[in-house]
Amino acid sequence: MKKIIFLLPLLALLSCYNAEHNCKDFKNGKFKFEFEVDGVKKTTIFERKDSIEIETFEGKTDTSTIRWVSDCEYVLQKKHPKNMAEEKAINMKILTTSKDSYTFEFGMVGSEEKQRGKVFKIE
């Protein structure tokens, strides 16, 4: 019984923790996203201005439109898809934010499969 009494205040404190969500800070700016493919680190740089995103990856630039669903969620759609895979929209959801970065979850619209990543604001 003493253990339960000790755990209750601890659980109460943990349940009060709220992840930071300053998503509006990331609607505009220049960002960097690093990820790994087959053990090789890759970097993409993109600039977002409200409803447009311009991405540069391995020397190639592409433009996508953004439709904001809420302050922390948007749908990304390539403006000039080069194949059927690029025609599919991607749902992006910002999960947590910090001063200069955010953690997000993304996946094809309509798909249950999601991946996570972290983006850093560079300007």
Q: What is the pLDDT of residue 8?
A: 45
Residue 19 has pLDDT above 90, yes or no: no
Structure tokens at 106: 């993304």
CA 39 remoteness from chain centre: 22
| Domains of the chain, first to last | 23-121 (2.40.128.490)
Using an 8 Å Cβ cutoff, are 93 and 106 in contact? yes
Residue 115 has pLDDT above 70, yes or no: yes
Structure tokens at 87: 């025609």
DSSP β-bridge partners for residue 56: 45, 61
pLDDT tens per residue, range 45-85: 999 998 999 999 999 999 999 999 999 999 999 999 989 88
Q: What is the model's pTM?
A: 0.79
